[in-house]
Chain A
Amino acid sequence: MTSWIGAKTRGAARLLLGAALALGAARAPAAQDAEAFEIVYLERAPAPRPVLSNLDPRPADLGLAGARLGVADNAAMGRFLGQSWRLSEFVVPPEGDFAAAARAALARGAPVIANAPAEDLLALADMPEAAGALIFNAAARDDALRRGACRANVLHTIPSRAMLADALAQFLVRKRWTRWFVIEGRGAQDRAFADAMARAAAKFGARIVERREWPLDADIRRTASSEAPLLTQAPEHDVLILADEADDWDRYIPYNTFSPRPVAGTEGMEPVAWSRPVEAWGAAQLQSRFRDLAGRDMTSEDYAAWAAARAVGEAVTRLAAGRDPHDPRALRAHLLSGAFEMGGFKGRKLSFRAWNGQLRQPIPLTHPRALVAQAPIEGFLHRVTELDTLGYDQPEAGCAAFEDKGE
């Protein structure tokens, strides 16, 4: 119980930052007597996990910095509309009491951006205090959360694994690289991503020639050039797809493969919500604003939290006259209606799928140095919007909690 008190104190310190933001806006007219809006950020910090390389440590403010930028953007817009905005931050350490922090977060009565694994997210959504709340899942990619385990009070701004896998599959199928060799790690998430690739293969007409588990738990940093070729021998394939979401061993595979084949998945060319090389469609501006704020590059988790905060900002501003912009139910109804649209620096307007609350969005396919392509790939058609060729479409989603809720 005491463990999250520390988090609360930290949250209180961060509230001051939110207040400073609002003060900054006071330079402009109409800031006096501003109507106050709040967004709550709730994170379960993950337990540190050892990986072979220390090159890319997880930033302490992963996700949080995106929420901060989204709220700053809302404040920059809101100062002209008589709104002030602040972010309340609750970060629970790995061993902390998430339920207590969740209760405190929900007690704010404001929309919640959750950066937590699926089990914590569901615990949050199922609390009695969460009835009628508006929660954004900005981190958990699990497809179950958009399907059988969906919750009416949870929308998703992070793409699901099925969306990411479908994006990659469209690119590969378009190039006729349809024979895939999949190597997956031992984690449940790795298996889930490999499963998503298998589903995508069936959906778009590709074939997995072999699916294999990465067998080593040794440190291969110095032996990759001798070990990896042996471990990547497989029947004839066009591309090697790696599923290692923690980026433990996958970074050592490109160029060390037995066959001269490109690598994609969680290494090489990756399907993402966001990444440093995304620069078209005005994205360069979002990247530079984020870098100014956080001192590092923007990631998919940051983008998902930013999009959640911006979605709230747009909903509050565009809500039909007579609806209460402080009522999460009214905001939710607007977000799921055809009236909601949002710019997201990915070339297409973003909106929410009314059947499961997933944010529709293009999926960039990137390598560390450049954007390769952006899905939906041209030629993959859909009767409503090509964005719905990515992930589970309405007829197959099977999310009962959203039935009769959308339009």
Chain B
Amino acid sequence: MSIRARIAPLLVALAPLTALAPAGAQGAEIWVTNEKDDAISVIDVESLSVTRTVPVGERPRGVTFSRDYSRLYVCASDSDAVQVIDPETGALLHNLPSGEDPEQFILHPDDRRLYIANEDDAVATVVDTAARTVLAQIDVGVEPEGMAVSPDGKVVIVTSETSSMAHWIDADTHRIFANTLVDQRPRHAEFTHDGKQLWVSSEIGGTISVFDAATQELLGKIGFEIRGVNPDLIQPVGFKMTSDDSLAFVALGPANHVAVVDVPGRKVLDYILVGRRPWHMAMTPDDRLLFVTNGVSGDVTVIDVAAREAVKTIKVGRYPWGAAWRP
């Protein structure tokens, strides 16, 4: 506790230094958290190069922007804080109360409520980002990680890694109204943009479970198979869908590939070789480029979405984890 208390002022002290760093290029950027470097690498989308590095709290993982992109939220897991950062200057604005060990989060469409998975505590914390207060803590399964919110803002999903289930939470009452089992070790959850389906990846199970969002009924599972790769090593983790819900890109962890999935048909179309242990990803809003973090090789693979091709590898920090786009 005393260590944590010391860290916060230290980071505030660092903030003015980062403000001296050159301001980013004018174009769009991808912000990548480096879990083992306590820093964010900022990639310029046009030049596909790292333009600056922003120091943040300990063990940064989940990362997202406010709707107007004026604030960056970062899960600084080992600092036990969600940090709010000014992306223009890199300065730490303040910490949000987050509960212990925040790993991943999702920002509600109201741009105000932040739902945080507290991995070590088996709870999800709901924070009001404006009032900087905790609205609720919800008991969930062991090691919550995947977080999703329905496009209409009514349903929040938390997946628990060790309990292997998705918890369906009423966003207004903060009560769990359904629990659905998935295959072993769920890591990531997302609704389709039309809000009709929920997808959940299972790392050890090797599948994606697709649910009807209205009924919580399991519609089907997607499996993966790559010639010459041991099936045990094909471990789906992060994924993203194009804005028209036609394609999904799924990082397959130690299989070192990203799968391209036809969303309506739930069929794998292609596999793209990327770096080592791809983890999470961010897509440009025009669906042109996909940026995949490769945890073990410490780089980011840029994929041309239309061509379904890796076009560049960008070296970032140690153990890149999350990625977020801003204009």
| Residue in A29, A73, A282, A387 whose CB lies within 8 Å of B175 | A29
Task: Say yes or no for A317: interface residue by CB 8 A criterion.
Answer: yes
Across the interface, do A347 and B165 meet the contact criterion of CB distance under 8 Å?
no
CA distance A348 to B203 in the complex (A): 9
Q: Does B107 contact A (CB under 8 A)?
A: no
- Assembled-state Cα–Cα distance A285/B179 (Å): 23
A349 contacts the other chain (CB 8 A): yes
- The distance in angstroms between the C-alpha atoms of A285 and B183, with both chains bound, is 19
Instruction: State A289–B161 Cα separation when bound (angstroms).
Output: 14
Q: Give chain B nearest CB distance to A336 CB in angstroms.
A: 17
Determine if B230 is an interface residue (Cβ-Cβ < 8 Å).
yes
Q: A76–B141 contact, CB under 8 A? A: yes
**A77 touching B120 in the complex, CB below 8 Å, given contacts A29-B176, A285-B143:** no
B120 touches A285 (CB 8 A): yes
**With an 8 A cutoff between CB atoms, is B280 at the interface?**
no
Tell yes or no: B243 within 8 A of A by CB: no
| Residue contact B184 to A349, C-beta cutoff 8 Å | yes
Nearest A residue to B179, CB-CB: A80
A126→B155 CA distance, assembly (Å)? 53
Q: Does the CB pair B179–A81 fall under 8 Å?
A: yes
Would B142 and A282 count as touching, CB distance under 8 A? Answer: no
Decide yes or no: A80 and B184 within 8 Å by CB, A27-B139, A285-B119 being known contacts: no
Interface of B is mostly: loop
Interface size on A, residues (CB 8 A): 24
A31 CB → nearest B CB, Å:
10
Tell me if A77 and B142 are in contact (CB < 8 A): yes
Is A288 positioned at the interface, with any CB of B under 8 Å from its CB? Answer: yes
- Among B162, B165, B233, the residue within 8 A (CB) of A80 is B165
Q: Which of B177-220 contact A (CB under 8 A)?
A: 179, 181, 183-185, 203-206
Cα of A79 to Cα of B230 in the assembled complex, Å: 35
Proximity string of chain A (15-32) to chain B, C-beta cutoff 8 Å, 1 when within and 0 when not: 000000000000111000
Q: Is A97 an interface residue (CB 8 A)?
A: no
Complex Cα distance, B181 from A77, in Å, reads: 10
**Does B18 make an interface contact (CB < 8 A)?**
no
- What 1/0 mask marks residues of chain B from 133 to 165 whose CB sits below 8 Å from any chain A CB? 000000101110000000000000000111111
- Contact across chains for A343 and B120 when beta carbons are under 8 A apart: no
Instruction: List, in ascending order, chain A residues with CB within 8 A of B120's CB.
Output: 285, 288-289
Chain B minimum-CB-distance residue to A387? B232
Contact A80 B232 (CB under 8 A): no
A343 and B163 contacting across the interface, CB-CB below 8 Å: no
Indicate if the CB atoms of A77 and B164 lie closer than 8 Å. yes
Chain A interface main SS type: loop
Pairwise interchain contact A77-B141, C-beta atoms closer than 8 A: yes
Question: Please, how many angstroms separate the alpha-carbon atoms of A347 and B254 in the complex?
Answer: 9
- Does B141 contact A282, Cβ atoms closer than 8 Å? no
Q: Which residues of A contact B184 (CB under 8 A)?
A: 341-343, 349
In the complex the two chains form, what is the Cα distance from A169 to B310 in whole Å? 38
- Are A28 and B139 in contact (CB-based, < 8 A)? yes
B185 touches A343 (CB 8 A): yes
B127 within 8 A of A: no
Q: How many residues of B contact A (CB 8 A)?
A: 29
Q: Is the CB of A76 within 8 A of B175?
A: no
Which chain A residue shows the least CB distance to B176? A29
Q: Which residues of B contact A349 (CB under 8 A)?
A: 184, 204-206, 232
Determine if A77 and B165 form an interchain contact, defined as CB atoms under 8 angstroms apart.
yes
Tell me if A386 counts as interface (CB < 8 A to partner B).
Answer: yes
Chain B residues with CB under 8 Å of A347's CB are 254
- For residue B300, CB closer than 8 A to chain A, the reply is no
Is A385 among interface residues, defined by CB-CB distance under 8 A?
Answer: yes
* A residues 318-357 touching B (CB-CB < 8 Å): 318, 341-343, 347-349
Residue ID in chain A nearest B160 by CB atoms: A77
Taking a contact as CB atoms under 8 Å apart, the answer to whether B204 and A76 are in contact is no
Per the 8 Å Cβ criterion, residues 146-194 of A in contact with B are: none
Q: Given A29-B176, A285-B119: A80 and B185 within 8 A (CB)?
A: no
Would A76 and B232 be within 8 Å (CB), given that A27-B139, A341-B205, A349-B204 are in contact? Answer: no
How many whole Å from A153's CB to the nearest CB in chain B? Answer: 26
Whole-angstrom CA separation of A342 from B184 in the bound complex: 6
Contact with A along B217-246 (1 / 0, CB 8 A): 000000000000010110000000000000
In the complex the two chains form, is B122's CB within 8 Å of A76's CB?
yes
CA distance A162 to B167 in the complex (A): 41
B295 to chain A, nearest CB (A): 10
Q: Which residues of A contact B230 (CB under 8 A)?
A: 385-386
Inter-chain contact A282/B163, CB cutoff 8 Å: no
In the bound complex, how far is the Cα of B165 from the Cα of A288, in angstroms? 21
Residue pair A282, B143 in contact (C-beta under 8 Å): yes
Task: Tell me, rounded to whole Å, the shortest Cβ–Cβ distance linking B319 to chain A.
Answer: 11
Interface residues of A in 294-327 (CB under 8 A from B): 317-318
- Are B161's CB and A343's CB within 8 A? yes
Cα distance A81–B232 when bound, in Å? 28
Contacts of A318 in B (CB 8 A): 181
- Are A77 and B204 in contact, CB atoms less than 8 angstroms apart? no
Q: A73-112 interface mask toward B, CB cutoff 8 Å, 1 = contact, 0 = none?
A: 1001101110000000000000000000000000000000
Contact A348 B141 (CB under 8 A): no
Task: Knowing A80-B176, A342-B184, say if A282 contacts B232 (CB, 8 Å).
Answer: no
Shortest CB distance A34–B (Å)? 14
Selected from B162, B167, B205, the residue in CB contact (under 8 A) with A73 is: B162
Please tell me which one of the listed residues A28, A282, A348 contacts residue B161 in the complex, with CB atoms under 8 A apart. Answer: A282
Taken together as a complex, chains A and B put the C-alpha atoms of A29 and B179 apart, in Å, by 11
13 residue pairs from A and B, CB less than 8 Å apart = A27-B139, A80-B167, A81-B179, A282-B161, A285-B143, A285-B161, A317-B181, A318-B181, A342-B184, A343-B185, A348-B204, A348-B232, A385-B232
Task: Spell out A's residues near B (CB within 8 Å).
Answer: 27-29, 73, 76-77, 79-81, 282, 285, 288-289, 317-318, 341-343, 347-349, 385-387
Interface residues of B (CB under 8 A from A): 119-120, 122, 139, 141-143, 160-165, 167, 175-176, 179, 181, 183-185, 203-206, 230, 232-233, 254
If A27-B139, A28-B139, A348-B204 are given as contacts, then 5 extra A-B residue pairs at C-beta distance below 8 Å, sorted by A number, are A73-B163, A76-B122, A317-B181, A349-B184, A349-B206
